Protein backbone atom coordinates (compact mmCIF):
# COMPACT_ATOMS: atom_id res chain seq x y z
CA UNK A 1 0.00 0.00 0.00
CA UNK A 2 0.95 3.66 -0.35
CA UNK A 3 2.10 5.63 2.67
CA UNK A 4 3.84 8.90 3.50
CA UNK A 5 7.21 8.04 4.94
CA UNK A 6 9.86 9.99 6.83
CA UNK A 7 13.09 9.55 4.88
CA UNK A 8 15.34 11.79 6.93
CA UNK A 9 15.30 15.26 8.48
CA UNK A 10 12.97 17.41 6.34
CA UNK A 11 12.61 14.61 3.78
CA UNK A 12 9.23 13.08 3.08
CA UNK A 13 8.16 10.77 0.27
CA UNK A 14 5.16 8.65 -0.61
CA UNK A 15 6.26 5.04 -1.07
CA UNK A 16 5.07 1.45 -0.98
CA UNK A 17 4.99 -0.32 2.40
CA UNK A 18 3.61 -3.69 3.57
CA UNK A 19 -0.08 -3.77 4.40
CA UNK A 20 -0.86 -3.76 8.14
CA UNK A 21 -1.85 -7.02 9.79
CA UNK A 22 -3.91 -8.11 12.77
CA UNK A 23 -1.28 -8.80 15.42
CA UNK A 24 -3.45 -8.99 18.54
CA UNK A 25 -7.01 -10.29 18.76
CA UNK A 26 -8.29 -6.84 19.77
CA UNK A 27 -7.03 -5.17 16.59
CA UNK A 28 -8.97 -3.87 13.64
CA UNK A 29 -7.65 -2.80 10.27
CA UNK A 30 -9.04 0.53 9.08
CA UNK A 31 -9.12 1.78 5.50
CA UNK A 32 -8.23 5.45 5.93
CA UNK A 33 -10.70 7.92 4.42
CA UNK A 34 -9.13 11.15 5.64
CA UNK A 35 -5.96 11.90 7.59
CA UNK A 36 -4.71 15.33 8.61
CA UNK A 37 -1.45 17.09 9.40
CA UNK A 38 -0.68 18.27 12.91
CA UNK A 39 1.77 20.88 14.15
CA UNK A 40 3.45 18.24 16.29
CA UNK A 41 4.35 16.30 13.11
CA UNK A 42 6.71 19.16 12.27
CA UNK A 43 8.83 18.31 15.32
CA UNK A 44 9.36 14.81 13.87
CA UNK A 45 9.96 16.04 10.33
CA UNK A 46 12.45 18.65 11.48
CA UNK A 47 14.49 16.21 13.55
CA UNK A 48 13.62 17.78 16.91
CA UNK A 49 12.45 14.39 18.20
CA UNK A 50 15.40 12.10 17.40
CA UNK A 51 13.59 8.76 17.51
CA UNK A 52 12.59 8.37 13.87
CA UNK A 53 13.82 5.72 11.45
CA UNK A 54 14.00 5.98 7.68
CA UNK A 55 10.69 4.68 6.38
CA UNK A 56 8.47 5.50 9.38
CA UNK A 57 4.89 6.29 8.35
CA UNK A 58 3.56 9.58 9.71
CA UNK A 59 0.05 10.61 10.73
CA UNK A 60 -2.02 10.22 13.90
CA UNK A 61 -5.32 11.98 13.29
CA UNK A 62 -7.71 10.10 11.02
CA UNK A 63 -11.10 8.67 10.16
CA UNK A 64 -11.82 5.53 8.19
CA UNK A 65 -13.75 2.35 7.59
CA UNK A 66 -13.21 -0.95 9.39
CA UNK A 67 -12.17 -3.63 6.86
CA UNK A 68 -10.96 -6.43 9.14
CA UNK A 69 -11.59 -7.28 12.79
CA UNK A 70 -9.63 -9.36 15.27
CA UNK A 71 -11.19 -12.38 16.96
CA UNK A 72 -11.98 -10.61 20.22
CA UNK A 73 -13.29 -7.30 18.89
CA UNK A 74 -16.85 -6.77 20.10
CA UNK A 75 -17.83 -3.17 19.36
CA UNK A 76 -16.92 -2.95 15.68
CA UNK A 77 -17.78 -4.71 12.47
CA UNK A 78 -16.55 -4.58 8.92
CA UNK A 79 -18.03 -1.51 7.27
CA UNK A 80 -18.23 0.65 10.40
CA UNK A 81 -17.14 4.26 9.90
CA UNK A 82 -14.86 5.07 12.82
CA UNK A 83 -12.78 7.91 14.15
CA UNK A 84 -9.79 6.74 16.16
CA UNK A 85 -8.03 8.30 19.12
CA UNK A 86 -4.42 9.09 18.27
CA UNK A 87 -3.18 7.51 21.49
CA UNK A 88 -3.45 3.76 22.02
CA UNK A 89 -4.94 2.60 25.31
CA UNK A 90 -5.94 -0.76 26.79
CA UNK A 91 -8.88 0.46 28.86
CA UNK A 92 -7.95 -1.88 31.73
CA UNK A 93 -4.93 -0.50 33.57
CA UNK A 94 -5.19 1.94 36.45
CA UNK A 95 -4.49 4.97 34.26
CA UNK A 96 -7.19 4.04 31.76
CA UNK A 97 -9.63 3.52 34.61
CA UNK A 98 -8.81 7.05 35.76
CA UNK A 99 -9.65 8.25 32.21
CA UNK A 100 -6.00 9.20 31.68
CA UNK A 101 -5.75 7.19 28.49
CA UNK A 102 -2.55 8.67 27.06
CA UNK A 103 -0.80 7.37 30.19
CA UNK A 104 -1.84 3.75 29.55
CA UNK A 105 0.64 1.18 30.89
CA UNK A 106 0.04 -1.35 28.11
CA UNK A 107 -0.15 0.69 24.91
CA UNK A 108 3.54 1.32 24.19
CA UNK A 109 5.51 -1.61 22.76
CA UNK A 110 8.77 0.31 23.27
CA UNK A 111 8.52 1.81 26.76
CA UNK A 112 12.18 1.92 27.73
CA UNK A 113 13.04 5.08 25.78
CA UNK A 114 10.50 7.31 27.47
CA UNK A 115 10.93 5.55 30.79
CA UNK A 116 14.60 6.49 30.65
CA UNK A 117 13.90 10.06 29.47
CA UNK A 118 10.93 10.90 31.64
CA UNK A 119 10.94 8.43 34.54
CA UNK A 120 7.89 6.51 33.31
CA UNK A 121 6.60 5.64 29.87
CA UNK A 122 3.60 7.29 28.27
CA UNK A 123 1.39 5.19 26.05
CA UNK A 124 1.83 4.54 22.37
CA UNK A 125 0.69 6.83 19.59
CA UNK A 126 0.15 6.35 15.87
CA UNK A 127 2.90 7.69 13.64
CA UNK A 128 4.86 9.41 16.36
CA UNK A 129 8.36 7.87 16.52
CA UNK A 130 9.78 4.82 18.21
CA UNK A 131 9.65 6.52 21.57
CA UNK A 132 5.86 6.23 21.33
CA UNK A 133 5.86 2.63 20.15
CA UNK A 134 6.90 2.91 16.51
CA UNK A 135 3.32 2.34 15.34
CA UNK A 136 2.88 3.04 11.62
CA UNK A 137 0.78 6.14 11.17
CA UNK A 138 -2.38 7.09 9.34
CA UNK A 139 -0.97 8.85 6.26
CA UNK A 140 -1.49 5.55 4.49
CA UNK A 141 -4.20 3.60 2.75
CA UNK A 142 -4.68 1.28 5.73
CA UNK A 143 -3.76 1.28 9.40
CA UNK A 144 -3.77 -1.27 12.20
CA UNK A 145 -5.69 -0.08 15.29
CA UNK A 146 -4.85 -2.00 18.52
CA UNK A 147 -7.36 -2.15 21.38
CA UNK A 148 -10.02 -1.11 18.89
CA UNK A 149 -12.92 -1.58 21.31
CA UNK A 150 -11.34 1.14 23.44
CA UNK A 151 -9.87 3.55 20.89
CA UNK A 152 -12.12 3.47 17.80
CA UNK A 153 -15.52 5.18 17.84
CA UNK A 154 -18.39 4.75 15.41
CA UNK A 155 -19.27 8.09 13.85
CA UNK A 156 -22.96 9.08 13.90
CA UNK A 157 -24.57 9.42 10.46
CA UNK A 158 -25.28 13.09 11.17
CA UNK A 159 -21.55 13.91 11.37
CA UNK A 160 -19.53 14.19 8.16
CA UNK A 161 -16.04 12.79 7.69
CA UNK A 162 -14.73 16.35 7.41
CA UNK A 163 -16.09 17.26 10.84
CA UNK A 164 -15.51 13.98 12.71
CA UNK A 165 -11.89 13.78 11.53
CA UNK A 166 -10.87 16.41 14.08
CA UNK A 167 -12.34 14.47 16.98
CA UNK A 168 -9.44 12.04 16.57
CA UNK A 169 -6.97 14.47 18.14
CA UNK A 170 -7.37 18.25 17.73
CA UNK A 171 -10.80 18.61 19.31
CA UNK A 172 -9.99 16.09 22.04
CA UNK A 173 -6.76 17.87 22.84
CA UNK A 174 -8.36 21.29 22.93
CA UNK A 175 -11.27 20.12 25.05
CA UNK A 176 -8.88 18.45 27.50
CA UNK A 177 -7.01 21.71 27.95
CA UNK A 178 -10.16 23.54 28.99
CA UNK A 179 -11.54 20.63 31.03
CA UNK A 180 -8.41 19.60 32.94
CA UNK A 181 -7.26 23.23 33.05
CA UNK A 182 -10.32 23.71 35.23
CA UNK A 183 -12.42 26.20 33.25
CA UNK A 184 -15.48 27.19 35.28
CA UNK A 185 -18.47 29.39 34.41
CA UNK A 186 -17.46 33.01 34.74
CA UNK A 187 -13.76 32.43 34.12
CA UNK A 188 -11.57 34.54 31.87
CA UNK A 189 -9.56 32.16 29.68
CA UNK A 190 -6.56 32.95 27.50
CA UNK A 191 -5.36 30.60 24.76
CA UNK A 192 -1.96 30.88 23.12
CA UNK A 193 -2.05 29.57 19.54
CA UNK A 194 -4.97 29.80 17.11
CA UNK A 195 -4.21 26.66 15.15
CA UNK A 196 -6.67 23.79 15.21
CA UNK A 197 -5.94 22.77 18.79
CA UNK A 198 -6.05 26.33 20.11
CA UNK A 199 -9.33 27.02 18.35
CA UNK A 200 -10.80 23.84 19.83
CA UNK A 201 -9.58 24.81 23.30
CA UNK A 202 -11.16 28.23 22.93
CA UNK A 203 -14.46 26.73 21.75
CA UNK A 204 -14.42 24.28 24.65
CA UNK A 205 -13.87 27.12 27.11
CA UNK A 206 -16.85 28.97 25.64
CA UNK A 207 -19.05 25.89 25.89
CA UNK A 208 -17.89 25.28 29.47
CA UNK A 209 -19.23 28.70 30.41
CA UNK A 210 -16.22 30.99 30.44
CA UNK A 211 -17.15 34.66 30.63
CA UNK A 212 -14.45 35.73 28.17
CA UNK A 213 -12.13 33.68 25.98
CA UNK A 214 -9.19 35.47 24.41
CA UNK A 215 -7.00 33.78 21.81
CA UNK A 216 -3.52 34.93 20.81
CA UNK A 217 -1.66 34.39 17.54
CA UNK A 218 0.03 36.35 14.74
CA UNK A 219 -1.88 35.03 11.74
CA UNK A 220 -5.03 37.02 11.04
CA UNK A 221 -6.77 34.21 9.12
CA UNK A 222 -6.52 31.96 12.18
CA UNK A 223 -7.67 34.71 14.50
CA UNK A 224 -10.67 35.35 12.26
CA UNK A 225 -11.54 31.66 12.32
CA UNK A 226 -11.33 31.64 16.12
CA UNK A 227 -13.60 34.67 16.33
CA UNK A 228 -16.15 33.24 13.90
CA UNK A 229 -16.25 29.56 14.87
CA UNK A 230 -15.10 29.50 18.50
CA UNK A 231 -16.66 32.77 19.66
CA UNK A 232 -13.35 34.05 21.05
CA UNK A 233 -11.89 37.54 21.30
CA UNK A 234 -8.54 37.87 19.55
CA UNK A 235 -5.13 39.44 20.05
CA UNK A 236 -2.34 39.60 17.48
CA UNK A 237 0.96 39.55 19.38
CA UNK A 238 2.76 41.31 16.55
CA UNK A 239 0.52 44.36 16.96
CA UNK A 240 -1.13 44.21 20.38
CA UNK A 241 0.14 44.58 23.92
CA UNK A 242 -0.90 41.07 24.91
CA UNK A 243 0.08 41.31 28.57
CA UNK A 244 -1.66 44.66 28.97
CA UNK A 245 -4.80 43.55 27.18
CA UNK A 246 -5.08 40.35 29.20
CA UNK A 247 -4.74 42.29 32.40
CA UNK A 248 -7.29 44.90 31.37
CA UNK A 249 -9.80 42.39 30.02
CA UNK A 250 -9.68 40.47 33.29
CA UNK A 251 -10.24 43.48 35.50
CA UNK A 252 -6.58 43.58 36.48
CA UNK A 253 -6.59 40.03 37.85
CA UNK A 254 -5.08 38.12 34.93
CA UNK A 255 -6.82 35.20 33.20
CA UNK A 256 -8.05 32.45 35.48
CA UNK A 257 -7.01 29.70 33.07
CA UNK A 258 -4.21 29.98 30.52
CA UNK A 259 -4.01 27.29 27.84
CA UNK A 260 -0.85 26.97 25.79
CA UNK A 261 -1.44 25.39 22.36
CA UNK A 262 1.81 26.23 20.57
CA UNK A 263 4.44 23.62 21.32
CA UNK A 264 8.19 23.25 21.19
CA UNK A 265 8.80 25.36 18.07
CA UNK A 266 7.19 28.48 19.49
CA UNK A 267 7.71 31.82 17.75
CA UNK A 268 7.75 35.13 19.58
CA UNK A 269 9.06 38.55 18.63
CA UNK A 270 12.31 39.89 19.96
CA UNK A 271 15.40 38.69 21.76
CA UNK A 272 13.68 35.83 23.56
CA UNK A 273 12.99 34.04 20.24
CA UNK A 274 16.50 34.49 18.93
CA UNK A 275 17.94 33.20 22.21
CA UNK A 276 15.70 30.12 22.25
CA UNK A 277 16.22 29.40 18.57
CA UNK A 278 20.00 29.59 18.86
CA UNK A 279 20.08 27.30 21.88
CA UNK A 280 17.78 24.86 20.12
CA UNK A 281 19.85 24.83 16.93
CA UNK A 282 22.95 24.19 19.02
CA UNK A 283 21.03 21.42 20.81
CA UNK A 284 21.66 23.15 24.14
CA UNK A 285 17.94 22.97 24.75
CA UNK A 286 15.48 20.73 22.97
CA UNK A 287 12.34 22.90 23.12
CA UNK A 288 11.39 26.58 22.76
CA UNK A 289 8.99 27.43 25.62
CA UNK A 290 8.15 31.06 24.86
CA UNK A 291 4.39 30.61 24.96
CA UNK A 292 4.53 28.70 28.25
CA UNK A 293 6.64 31.48 29.79
CA UNK A 294 4.09 34.06 28.65
CA UNK A 295 1.19 32.03 29.99
CA UNK A 296 2.82 31.68 33.40
CA UNK A 297 3.56 35.38 33.51
CA UNK A 298 0.03 36.43 32.49
CA UNK A 299 -1.93 34.00 34.63
CA UNK A 300 -3.64 35.37 37.71
CA UNK A 301 -2.30 34.45 41.13
CA UNK A 302 -3.56 31.02 42.11
CA UNK A 303 -4.66 30.32 38.54
CA UNK A 304 -4.13 27.41 36.21
CA UNK A 305 -1.85 26.92 33.21
CA UNK A 306 -2.43 23.94 30.94
CA UNK A 307 0.28 22.92 28.46
CA UNK A 308 -1.22 21.33 25.36
CA UNK A 309 1.70 21.94 23.01
CA UNK A 310 3.95 18.92 22.48
CA UNK A 311 7.33 19.14 24.16
CA UNK A 312 10.05 16.51 24.19
CA UNK A 313 12.85 17.33 26.58
CA UNK A 314 14.40 20.30 28.32
CA UNK A 315 14.10 24.06 28.29
CA UNK A 316 16.13 26.96 29.54
CA UNK A 317 14.98 30.04 31.47
CA UNK A 318 11.82 28.43 32.82
CA UNK A 319 9.98 30.86 35.17
CA UNK A 320 9.85 28.55 38.15
CA UNK A 321 9.92 31.53 40.48
CA UNK A 322 6.75 32.98 38.98
CA UNK A 323 5.05 29.61 39.09
CA UNK A 324 5.89 29.03 42.73
CA UNK A 325 5.38 32.50 44.12
CA UNK A 326 2.08 33.06 42.29
CA UNK A 327 0.78 29.73 43.51
CA UNK A 328 -0.02 28.47 40.01
CA UNK A 329 -1.12 25.01 38.97
CA UNK A 330 0.72 23.96 35.85
CA UNK A 331 -0.48 20.81 34.19
CA UNK A 332 0.00 19.16 30.84
CA UNK A 333 -0.87 15.97 28.99
CA UNK A 334 -1.04 14.24 25.69
CA UNK A 335 -4.68 13.96 24.82
CA UNK A 336 -7.00 11.45 26.49
CA UNK A 337 -9.09 10.99 23.36
CA UNK A 338 -11.04 8.00 24.64
CA UNK A 339 -12.35 10.23 27.45
CA UNK A 340 -13.77 12.89 25.13
CA UNK A 341 -14.52 11.53 21.66
CA UNK A 342 -18.07 10.27 22.31
CA UNK A 343 -19.11 13.61 23.82
CA UNK A 344 -17.41 15.53 21.02
CA UNK A 345 -19.21 13.51 18.36
CA UNK A 346 -22.52 14.30 20.08
CA UNK A 347 -21.70 18.01 20.10
CA UNK A 348 -20.65 17.82 16.46
CA UNK A 349 -23.98 16.21 15.61
CA UNK A 350 -25.76 19.13 17.33
CA UNK A 351 -23.57 21.69 15.48
CA UNK A 352 -22.14 22.97 18.79
CA UNK A 353 -18.66 22.10 17.56
CA UNK A 354 -17.71 22.92 13.98
CA UNK A 355 -14.35 21.90 12.51
CA UNK A 356 -14.58 21.74 8.72
CA UNK A 357 -13.07 25.22 8.32
CA UNK A 358 -9.77 23.90 9.70
CA UNK A 359 -9.23 21.74 6.61
CA UNK A 360 -8.01 24.59 4.42
CA UNK A 361 -6.13 22.33 2.01
CA UNK A 362 -7.35 18.92 0.85
CA UNK A 363 -5.32 16.76 -1.51
CA UNK A 364 -4.55 13.16 -2.48
CA UNK A 365 -1.92 11.35 -0.46
CA UNK A 366 0.52 11.54 -3.37
CA UNK A 367 0.73 15.29 -2.78
CA UNK A 368 1.42 14.96 0.95
CA UNK A 369 5.07 16.13 0.84
CA UNK A 370 3.87 19.35 -0.81
CA UNK A 371 1.04 19.49 1.70
CA UNK A 372 3.49 19.47 4.59
CA UNK A 373 5.57 22.22 2.97
CA UNK A 374 2.48 24.40 2.65
CA UNK A 375 1.43 23.54 6.21
CA UNK A 376 4.87 24.18 7.74
CA UNK A 377 5.37 27.51 5.97
CA UNK A 378 1.73 28.51 6.55
CA UNK A 379 1.51 29.40 2.88
CA UNK A 380 -1.81 30.25 1.29
CA UNK A 381 -3.38 30.73 4.75
CA UNK A 382 -3.01 27.01 5.46
CA UNK A 383 -4.34 25.87 8.83
CA UNK A 384 -4.40 22.10 8.27
CA UNK A 385 -3.74 19.92 5.21
CA UNK A 386 -5.98 16.87 4.82
CA UNK A 387 -4.87 13.87 2.77
CA UNK A 388 -7.14 11.39 1.00
CA UNK A 389 -5.24 8.11 0.74
CA UNK A 390 -7.98 6.17 -1.04
Partner 1 sequence: MRRSTWLTFGAAGVGGLVATRAVVGRRGRAVPAASRSAHAVTVARPVDYVAAHMPEELADGGDAVEVRLREAPGDRGTEIHVRRANDEVSDDDIREALRTGKSRLETGDVLQPGVATTTPTMLNRGLRAVTRRGRRKGLL
Residues that bind partner 1 (CB under 8 A): 3, 5, 8, 17-21, 23-26, 50-57, 88, 90, 92-94, 97, 105-107, 109-113, 115, 120-121, 124, 130, 133-136, 144, 146-147
Nearer Cβ to partner 1 (90/358): 90
Q: What are the beta bridge partners of residue 82? A: 64, 154
Nearer Cβ to partner 1 (48/237): 48
For residues 185 and 204, what is the distance between their CA atoms, to the nearest angstrom? 12
Q: Are 305 and 258 in contact (CB under 8 A)?
A: yes
Nearer Cβ to partner 1 (53/238): 53
- Expressed in angstroms, the distance from the first to the final Cα of the chain is 10
Cβ at position 19, least distance to partner 1 in Å: 7
Q: Are 180 and 331 in contact (CB under 8 A)?
A: yes
Mention every residue, 6+ apart, whose C-beta is less than 8 A from residue 390. 31, 32, 33, 141
Q: Are 136 and 127 in contact (CB under 8 A)?
A: yes
Nearer Cβ to partner 1 (25/184): 25
Left if phi > 0, otherwise alpha if psi is -120 to 50, otherwise beta: which for 71? alpha
Nearer Cβ to partner 1 (312/330): 312
Cβ at position 140, least distance to partner 1 in Å: 9
Cβ at position 313, least distance to partner 1 in Å: 16
For residues 7 and 21, what is the distance between their CA atoms, to the nearest angstrom? 23
Nearer Cβ to partner 1 (26/289): 26
Element (H, E) at 278: helix 271-281
Task: For residue 64, give Cα distances in angstroms to 150, 156, 363.
Answer: 16, 13, 16
Nearer Cβ to partner 1 (90/341): 90
Cβ at position 54, least distance to partner 1 in Å: 5
Cβ at position 148, least distance to partner 1 in Å: 12
Cβ at position 24, least distance to partner 1 in Å: 5
Cβ at position 147, least distance to partner 1 in Å: 8
Mention every residue, 6+ apart, whose C-beta is less than 8 A from residue 29. 20, 21, 22, 66, 67, 68, 69, 142, 143, 144, 145
Amino acid sequence: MKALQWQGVNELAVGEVPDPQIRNSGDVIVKVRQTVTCGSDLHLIGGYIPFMEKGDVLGHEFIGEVVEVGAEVQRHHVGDRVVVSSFIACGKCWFCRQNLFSLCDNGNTNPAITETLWGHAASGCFGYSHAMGGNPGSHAQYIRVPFADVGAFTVPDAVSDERALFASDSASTGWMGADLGGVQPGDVVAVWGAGAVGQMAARAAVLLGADRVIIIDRFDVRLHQAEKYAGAETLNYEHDDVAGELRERSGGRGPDVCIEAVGMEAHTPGVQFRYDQLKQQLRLQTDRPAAVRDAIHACRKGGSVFVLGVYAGFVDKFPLGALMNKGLTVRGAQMHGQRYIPMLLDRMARDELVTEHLATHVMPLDKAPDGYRIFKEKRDDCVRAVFLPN
